[in-house]
Structure 1
Amino acid sequence: MNTSLIEHNTPVTLLGGGQASAADLREALRVAPVCMAADGGAALALEQGIDLAAVIGDFDSIAPEHLVQIPSDRQHRISEQNSTDFDKALRSIAAPVVLALGFAGGRIDHQLSALHTLVARADRPCVLMGATEIIFVCPPELLLPTDTGDVVSLFPMAAVQGWSDGLHWPIEGLAFDPARYVGTSNRAQGPVRLRMAGPEMLCILPRRLMPQMVQRLAQLPPPARWPARAAP
C-alpha cells in the first residue's frame, strides 16, 4: 500500500544501501539533481553533505545518528514488510524519471529483487545505474542513442514480444521468455529503435549512455508510458 507520494518535476536520484561511491553520486546528481534515499541509502548522501529531499522505507537499516540529521517532514516511514525499500520508494515518488544508484552490485538476491521492482513498477520510469551498465524497462517505443558496436542486451522478465530497427540481430517474431528465450549480447548498428508489446522487457546498455537515457525517458509523454499494474 502506498502511504506517501513525493512529487518533483525534475529527475530524482534515489540512493540505495548497496555499492555506490561518492563519484557515482556526483555523476548521478548532474543528471538527476533532486536526491532521495531508500532507508540506509541515506548514509552516502549525508556523508557527502548532500541535502536529502526525502528518505523512504521501513527504517530498519538507517543508523540512528543519520536519522536525526533528516527533518521529520522528509521522513516517509512505510512499515509493511511485504516489499523492499526500493519498491516502497519507487512507488512513492512521482517524477519524470528516477535514477537509482546503490541497488546493483553486491548480493545477487538484492539485485534480482531490484529488477523485479523495475518491472512491477514499470509505470514509474527508472534507470538502474550499475558499475558499467544501466538497466531500465523498455517503454512502448524508444529510440536508443547507441553507436555502432554498442552492446544492447534485452532480458524478458515474463513472456513478451518486441520489434527492433538497428540491431545486428532483429527481434521481430521472437517469443521472449525468461525460461525459454532471452536477447543478451546483441549489437547496435547505430541508433536503435525498440517497440515492445508489454512492460516486461529489461534493456541493458553501456553506462556512458546514462545521461541520454535519463533525458529520453523523462521526456516521454504520459501516452508513451506504461500504465500502472492492477493491484494483486
Structure 2
Amino acid sequence: MTEAIVRETAPITLIGGGDVTRSDLAEALAHAPVLVAIDGGADQALALGAQPQAVIGDFDSVSDHARTALSQSILHLVAEQETTDFDKALRSVEAPLVLAVGVLGARLDHQLAALHVLMQPHAKTCILIGAHEVVVHLTASLELELQAGDVVSLFPLLPVSGRSDGLEWPIDGLELSPLSRIGTSNRATGSIRIEVDGPGLLAILPRHCLGALIQVMQAGPSC
C-alpha cells in the first residue's frame, strides 16, 4: 500500500501524458482544483500554462525541462516498475473524487492500462475524461439524467450482472463478460439507473454529462 503523497478534502485532477486540451484541463480544474501530474503529465501541464502541486511517477517520461522548471520539493519518485504511473499516482492521492485527463487518447496500450487501474481494489473514485466520453467503474448503483438517444456503453472487464432502467436495451437477466456478451452502443431513453451485482463493469458515458456525473459520484451510492 503506497503512502498518500497528496491529501485533500477537495477533488483532485490528475493529468497524464495522453491527449488533453486546454479546455479539457480547465473543465477538470473547475470541478477538481488541485492539480497533480502523472510523470510526463508535468510537461502537459506546463505546456497548458498550469502548475501541478505534485508530480508522481517513476520519472521515465517527464522531461529534463519540466524537472528543472518545477520545484524539486514537488517531485515524488515512486521507483517500482510493477505498476503504471497512473496506478502509482492514483494510489498516492487521497481525495473524495479524482478526475483524470490525459490518460485517454494517444497510445492504445496506455488507455487499456488506465482502464485496468480503475478495476483495482485500491482505486479511488475516479472519472476518466476523454475527448468525447467519460469513463467510470460502476461499483454501486448509478442514477443519472441523460438525454434520449445518448450513447451509454457498458463494458465488462469481469463477468458481472445487473439491472437497468432507462436504457433502450435493458441488462436485466444478462451475464456480461469480456469473453461473451458486452454492452456497447446502448442508448438512453432519458434518465438512467444502473445497478451492478459486483465489480467489473465500466460505464462509458457522453462527455456532456460530466458535471452531473461528478455530483452523483460525490453524493455517494444511491439506495
TM-score in terms of structure 2 length: 0.94
The aligned counterpart of 1:158 is: 158
Q: Is the 8 A contact 1:11 1:32 kept in 2?
A: yes
Residues 121/74 of structure 1: CA separation in 2 closer, same or farther (3 Å cut): farther
Conservation of the 8 A alpha-carbon contact between 2:139 and 2:199: yes
Contact 1:35 1:53 in 2 (8 A): yes
Question: Paired residue for 2:107?
Answer: 107
CA displacement at 1:74 relative to structure 2: 2.0
Q: What CA distance in whole angstroms lies between the structure 2 residues aligned with 1:74 and 1:198?
A: 37
- 1:171 alignment partner in structure 2: 171
Instruction: Read off the aligned partner of 1:210 and give its amino acid letter.
Output: L
Moved over 6 A (4+): none
Structure 2 residue runs of 5 or longer lacking an equivalent are none
Is residue 2:199 matched to residue 1:195?
A: no
Partners of 1:219 and 1:51 in 2: CA distance: 29
Match of 1:136 in 2: 136
Aligned length: 222
Please tell me the residue identity of whatever aligns with 1:120: Q
Would you say 1:40 and 2:43 are equivalent positions? no
Residue deviations 1:66-98 (CA, integer Å, cap 9, x gap): 113333332221000011000001111111111
Q: Which amino acid aligns with 1:166?
A: G
**Is 2:6 aligned against 1:6?**
yes
Find the aligned partners of 2:121 and 2:75 in 1 and give their Cα distance.
22
Change in CA separation of 1:154 and 1:5 when aligned onto 2, cut-off 3 Å: same
Secondary structure at the counterpart of residue 175 of structure 2? coil
Q: In the alignment, is residue 71 of structure 1 matched against residue 81 of structure 2?
A: no
2:82 equivalent in structure 1: 82
Unaligned 5+ segments in structure 1 are 226-232
Q: Which deviates further from its counterpart, 69-78 or 12-21? A: 69-78
CA distance in 1, matches of 2:88, 2:132: 26
Deviation at 1:9, TM superposition (A): 1.1
Contact 2:91 2:122 in 1 (8 A): no
Matches within 5 A, 1:44-63: 44-63=44-63
Distance 2:73 2:191 in 1: 44
> Is 1:91–1:121's contact at 8 Å kept on the other side of the alignment?
no
Measured in 1, the distance between the counterparts of 2:104 and 2:145 equals 22
1:118 aligns to what? 118
Q: Which letter maps to 1:154?
A: L
SS for the counterpart of 1:44 is helix
| Kept after mapping to 2: 8 A contact 1:3/1:78 | no
Q: For the residues of structure 1 that align with 2:40 and 2:218, how far apart are their CA atoms?
A: 26
User: Deviation digits for residues 112-132 of structure 1, max 9, x if unmatched?
Assistant: 111101111564111111111
- The residue that corresponds to 1:230 in the other structure is none
What's the offset of the Cα at 1:51? 2.5
